[in-house]
Amino acid sequence: MVRQFTESKLVLATHNPGKVGELEELLAPWGVEIVSAGALGLPEPEETGETFVDNALLKARAAASATGLPALADDSGLIVAGLGGRPGVHTADWAGSPRDFTRAMRRVQDELGGNPDRHAAFMSTIALVWPDGHEEVFEGKVDGELVWPPRGNIGWGYDPMFAPEGSPRTYGEMSAEEKHSTSHRARALAKLVKACFERR
């Protein structure tokens, strides 16, 4: 049975400031005190899972165990049809260390080469884990097309090369409010909110 979220504090199991900002904005209406794993100085667990679900649960479990608080983790990525679904769970890895998404976008473009299939999708899996081991998982997806050269500098990650279905603009050209209206992360979080935060 789906569990209602009644606690006052939630750990975001991420060290990614862009992701923290998005999730804080999306959760703001619920009045929950939010702290990130990065702000708490928690170590980043190695993402060894083979799926987005595996990695989201891995990160949320680690944060819940370390803090004794409920933890929310997002594992998301870019799925490119012309690359057989890559980079997929390795989306962040393509940006190298330190993370450089300009390089990552260039790699996507270079590996596509002359392939006319520009279809791609962003996938997000959100896991909410309580310290007692209860877990909830929700997924969101948005389809779109890859553009080159990248356009806009508002978003983060691969946003400047991804135009969601039906839009002439990339996520890199959209305000946070516009992006939240269609994004994979917003869709996954909307499912979580409906199931766990809205009072029934």
The catalytic site residues sit at: 75
Q: How far apart are CA 76 and CA 63, in angstroms?
A: 18
Q: What angle do CA 26, 93, 111 make, to 5 degrees?
A: 110
CB 172 within 8 A of CB 157: no
Token look-up 């904005």 returns 25
Task: Please choose, from the candidates 43, 44, 23, the residue with its C-alpha nearest in 3D space to the C-alpha of residue 128.
Answer: 23
Can you name the residues that pair with 10 across neighbouring β-strands? 34
Q: How far apart are CA 38 and CA 19, in angstroms?
A: 11
Tell me if the bond preceding 98 is cis, omega within 30° of 0: yes
Identify the helix (H) or strand (E) that includes residue 23.
Answer: helix 17-27
